[in-house]
Amino acid sequence: MRVLVDLNRCQGYAQCCFLAPESFKLVGEEALMYDSGPDDALKEKIERAAASCPVQAIMVEYMNGHADEMVKSGTSEAEARHGA
């Protein structure tokens, strides 16, 4: 699986660091460091982290052998609406 955080959106609420501490780490007060290719065993934790992001900055993609399937994206629709 692949994880992508839009660091322009991220505001350091750190909810992801609470819920998936193996993958998301806070450096200092608000800088986020994360693992973009976490182990599949962490799938559930990563999903909890992505769902909890107050600004929906975390995207998760799954590679299921055939094609990369984009499963979750929190940003596109919101941006379209704000831009409208």
Partner 1 sequence: MAGKSLFQQVNDYAHRANPYPLYAEMRKTPVLGDEDGNYAVSSYRLITELLHDPRLSSDIRARPPDDPKQQAVAQSSISPAFIRTDPPEHDRLRRMLTRQFGPPHTVGMIDNMRGDLEKYVNGLLDRMQDRKQIDIVDDYAYPFPVDVICKLLGIPPEDEKRFHGWAEDIAFSLDPAIGEEGRKLIAKGLVARNELGQYMRALIDVHRKQPGNDMLSRLITDSSADGRLTEEELVSSSVTLLIAGHETTVNLITNGTLTLLRNPDVFERLRHEPDLIIPLVEETLRFEPPVQFNSQRTALADITIDGVTIPKGAPVYLMIAAGNRDPVRFNEPDRFIPDREDNQHLGFGSGIHYCFGAPLARVEVQIALNALARRLINPRLVVDPPPYRQSAVLRGPRHLLVDVDGIKP
Taking CB under 8 A as the rule, does residue 70 contact partner 1? no
Rounded to a whole number of angstroms, the minimum distance from the CB of residue 75 to partner 1 is 8
Place of tokens 């975390």: 58
Place of tokens 């608000």: 30
Among 8, 27, 37, 65, binds partner 1 (CB under 8 A): 27
How far CA 73 is from CA of 12, 22, 25, 29, in Å, comes to 19, 21, 21, 26
The residue ranges that bind partner 1 (CB under 8 A) are 13-15, 17-21, 25-29, 44-45, 47-48, 51-52, 54-56, 72-78, 81
